[in-house]
Chains A and B, each alone.
Chain A
Amino acid sequence: MRVYLEALRMSYRRFRTYGAATLAGLATNCFFGLLRSAVFIAFYTQRPIAEGYSLHDALTYVWLTQGMIMPLYLWGSLEIAESIRTGAIASDLAKPFNYFGFWLSRDLGRAAYHLLYRWLPTLIIGFVFFRIRLPGSPLAWSSFALSFLLAIILTFCLRFMINVVGFWTTDVRGIMGMVLLFVNFLTGFLVPLEFFPPTLRAIVTELPFAAIISIPNKIFLEQAHGLDLLILLSRQLFWVVVFITAAQLLLRAATRKLEVQGG
């Protein structure tokens, strides 16, 4: 267990060295938050409520999702694929720890950093300038925290699996681009799923992608209570179990296939 905690801590500290980049990234996230807010403010001059969202809710959605980009690492990293390309993977696999667990710990360390230095400031700026609504009870905050953690594990699994495809083809960039950018839409990142046309919405809410952005946002906005809340969380938990299992199977198949690139 200690090795995983250590990996988590190291990864957190590694990201802390990128101070200037963090500031520029934060400015970009907030700038987009501002643009997206302006669009909703203009739209909402026509009606007070749309698809169950007040302007207040929509703005909260905007700032919360802008803040979640980095903790979820939506646009991902190709570090594992890179280690396959360089051959470093061979020694990583030989080390006496669980390969998946090792990378998960590293990713949680990264997420902890981004939570503190990207999510929190974005949320504060949204609160100060756009009066976004915050959850009103400790229960809402803690269910959101759990939901967010599950979402982070989910996106990690997704990125892990895309990276592992690199065992078969050393050019995963195209696949990565396709999947992750499609994700922008299916998670509800660009538009809340509630705004989708009914048929499309019925399909999309059943997909695992909804568990990444849509569900944590619904919980943050306190749109679900009691049993509904429990259902949302178990839906996320279900997908986390499925994805972790799938990632393990894929990894096992891949290691059997592995041909190390020399160099």
Chain B
Amino acid sequence: MGNLRLYLLLAGARLRGQVQYRVSFALQVASSFTSTFVELLALLILFRTFNDLGGWSVGEVAFLYGLASVAFAIAELLGEGLEQASRMIREGEFDRVLTRPVAPLLQVLAADIQLRRIGRLTQGLLAFGLAQRWATIDWTPLKGLLLLAAIGSTTVVFLTVFLIGASICFWTVESSEFQNIFTYGGTELASNPLQIYPRLLQGIFLFIVPLGLTTFYPALHILAKPDPLGLPPFVPFLAPLVAALFLGVGLIIWEFGMRHYQSTGS
């Protein structure tokens, strides 16, 4: 059986399981929605008092916010298994994973999928709606394609951060809250125009964890904003390439970590 088919089969079973408890599921989705919606609300409230953020209007910032939010929601939905890797290693479940004739990464990914994340996804789409209403965007087929590429690339970057976080558990067993800086912190950072941050932070989020290249730069092109950092004009189109490279690094760390794996014996 093909790996993808197997993944879809396992994932489907998880999803069906989650919607069985209807009230609980509805509450979880609602909670995921409100928790992220209040962040959007907070942003809108600040824009009542202030006109623009680093030269970006409320509609333009909403666009950036929506892009980061939608991508992070998809990454959280698909990557929950990676977040559980620490527990799998600690409780010895990873031993079982290794004995099965299926790629370990696929098993870890299929171990958990959190459908409740559609709450955050909905909220991100809402932000896109506001952006479409308030910002003037001259849509072209190329821009549409770039937006899809940006969402996909950003999702891959977030998933890779989860992957690296899970790989580190091979050494430390416990997952670290440090990861939050790049996941939750990364979403927050990517929701605002990059030029408002200190240089060092811009550098980290452009060239190490390349969220800036997958969110801010595609957004610059789509919204036809001038580039405050003066990078070459083709940079907005590098997003998929950069995401693929970052994923490659993540996979190498994962493989390396797996070779280092020692069972906890529990």
Q: Which of A7-15, A35-43, A94-102, A212-220 contacts B (4 or more CB under 8 A)?
A: A35-43
Is B84 engaged at the interface, CB distance under 8 Å to the other chain?
Answer: no
Q: Are B196 and A41 in contact (CB under 8 A)?
A: yes
Q: What are 27 residue pairs bridging A and B, where the CB atoms are less than 8 Å apart in the complex?
A: A20-B176, A24-B178, A25-B177, A27-B178, A27-B181, A28-B177, A28-B185, A34-B201, A35-B189, A38-B192, A38-B196, A38-B198, A41-B196, A42-B193, A42-B196, A43-B46, A47-B50, A50-B50, A174-B24, A174-B30, A174-B31, A177-B27, A177-B28, A177-B35, A181-B38, A184-B35, A185-B38
Task: State the A residues within 8 Å of B (CB).
Answer: 20-21, 24-25, 27-28, 31-32, 34-35, 38-39, 41-44, 46-47, 50-51, 171, 173-175, 177-178, 181-182, 184-185, 190-191, 195-197
B192 touches A39 (CB 8 A): yes
Known: A190-B42, A191-B45. A28 touches B51 (CB 8 A): no
Return the chain A residue nearest B32 by Cβ. Answer: A177
Cα(A47)–Cα(B52), bound, Å: 11
A115 to B138 alpha-carbon distance, docked (Å)? 51
Instruction: Report yes or no: B54 in contact with A42, Cβ–Cβ below 8 A.
Output: yes
A174 and chain B: residue at smallest CB distance? B27
Instruction: Give B175's nearest chain A residue, CB to CB.
Output: A24
Additional A-B contact list (20), CB under 8 Å, known A28-B180, A31-B181, A39-B192: A25-B177, A28-B185, A32-B188, A39-B53, A43-B49, A43-B50, A44-B50, A46-B51, A47-B50, A171-B21, A174-B30, A178-B30, A182-B35, A184-B35, A185-B42, A191-B42, A195-B46, A195-B48, A195-B49, A196-B45
Interchain CB contact under 8 A, B24 and A171: yes
Shortest distance between the CB of B60 and any CB in chain A (Å): 13
Contact residues in B for A35 (Cβ distance below 8 Å)? 185, 188-189, 192, 197
**Per-position binary interface string of chain B over residues 156-187, scored 1 when its CB falls under 8 Å from any chain A CB and 0 otherwise:** 00000000000000000000111011001100
Kindly list chain A residues whose C-beta atoms are within 8 Å of the C-beta of B30. Answer: 174, 178
Residues on B lying within 8 angstroms of A by beta carbon are 21, 24, 27-28, 30-32, 34-35, 38-39, 41-42, 45-46, 48-54, 176-178, 180-181, 184-185, 188-189, 192-193, 196-198, 201
Complexed CA–CA distance, A182 and B34 (Å) = 7
Q: Which residues of A contact B53 (CB under 8 A)?
A: 39, 42-43
Dominant secondary structure at the B interface: helix
Q: How far is the CA of A185 from the CA of B42 in the complex (A)?
A: 7
Write out the residue numbers on chain A whose beta carbons fall within 8 Å of the beta carbon of B41.
185
Q: Quick check: B196 and A174 within 8 Å, CB to CB? A: no
Tally of A-B Cβ pairs under 8 angstroms: 98
- Min distance, Cβ A203 to any Cβ of chain B, angstroms: 14
Bound: A50/B46 CA distance, A: 10
Q: Which chain A residues border B201 with CB–CB below 8 Å?
A: 34, 38
A181 to B31, CA, bound (A): 8
A177 CA / B181 CA spacing, docked (Å): 21
Contact of A197 (CB < 8 Å), options: B45, B50, B51, B185: B45
Q: Which residue of A lies closest to B24 (CB)?
A: A171
A182 near B24 with CB under 8 A, answer no
Known: A50-B50, A184-B38. A175 touches B45 (CB 8 A): no
Indicate if the CB atoms of B24 and A177 lie closer than 8 Å: no
Contact present for A197 and B31 (CB under 8 Å): no
Closest chain-A Cβ to B52's Cβ sits at a distance in Å of 7
Q: Which residues of B contact A44 (CB under 8 A)?
A: 50
Complex interface: chain B residues within 8 A of A184 (CB): 35, 38
Complex contacts, B49 vs chain A, CB 8 Å? 43, 50-51, 195
* CA gap between A148 and B39 in the complex, in Å: 24
The residues of B that contact A27 with a CB separation of less than 8 Å are 177-178, 181
Bound CA span A211–B236, Å: 46
